Chains A and B, each alone.
Chain A
Amino acid sequence: NAGVMQNPRHLVRRRGQEARLRCSPMKGHSHVYWYRQLPEEGLKFMVYLQKENIIDESGMPKERFSAEFPKEGPSILRIQQVVRGDSAAYFCASSPRRGRAGELFFGEGSRLTVL
């Protein structure tokens, strides 16, 4: 049973380019969370999605950032016109269902470097 798969693991972009980060949740999981982690910092919540729905995007910057989780395919975190401050590790986590607080399964992360 494969875990949460994120790609790419490492991504280098120049300022002004776009970054697309992908996350395939564990099989049977319909809830996806994106977190951002800066060096020596904690995990900062960005967005919570279910299939085709954004449930909570209170942690997403108002501009340049968007996320989706289509009916088919992985969840995508998109960052347009990247700036140096976007350099961070972006972690995706998934969980199976609502109804009871439970474990989040994290992917290995995508490390974005903006030159």
Chain B
Amino acid sequence: QQPVQSPQAVILREGEDAVINCSSSKALYSVHWYRQKHGEAPVFLMILLKGGEQKGHEKISASFNEKKQQSSLYLTASQLSYSGTYFCGTGDSQGGSEKLVFGKGTKLTVNP
């Protein structure tokens, strides 16, 4: 099942913070976050694994609540370059190289 992302869209001024949420009705092994700019490929930001391991971006952090099957992406002191659509992708397999099921995305616009 497709994870649900909220909010659908966010508009910020440069320097403001934002939180994007992702929730699933299924038990999760991993949550992945990607950012896609218009007309471009999605770019990897962060992966959070069951058990607390986290790999990703320096200026972006995230949390993964396994019990609630939720993840949140925290964007602090946003920059113009943060604009784009953010997708969470959820995986339910520990076998590795799993397929990801992506949410519909959260469109973030950062204005000067």
Residues of A within 8 A of B (CB): 4, 31, 33, 35, 41-45, 48, 56, 59, 91, 95, 97-109
Contacts and interface: CB of A to CB of B under 8 A. Distances in A.
Contacts of A103: 32, 44, 47
Contacts of A42: 2, 87, 102-105
Interface residues of B, number: 28
A3 B98 CA distance: 20
B71 to A, nearest CB: 13
Contacts, number: 69
Nearest to A4: B41
Contacts of B100: 33, 45, 104
A91 B42 contact: yes
Interface string B82-105: 000001010101111111111111
A101 B94 CA distance: 7
Contacts of B34: 104, 106
Interface in B61-112: 87, 89, 91, 93-105
B41 A91 contact: yes
8 contacts: A43-B102, A45-B100, A91-B41, A98-B95, A98-B97, A101-B32, A103-B44, A106-B34
A41 B41 CA distance: 14
Interface of B: 2, 29-30, 32, 34, 40-44, 47, 49, 87, 89, 91, 93-105
Contacts of B103: 42
Nearest to A58: B99
A107 B41 CA distance: 6
Contact of B49 (A59, A99, A101, A108): A101
Nearest to B42: A106
B44 A105 contact: yes
A41 B104 CA distance: 5
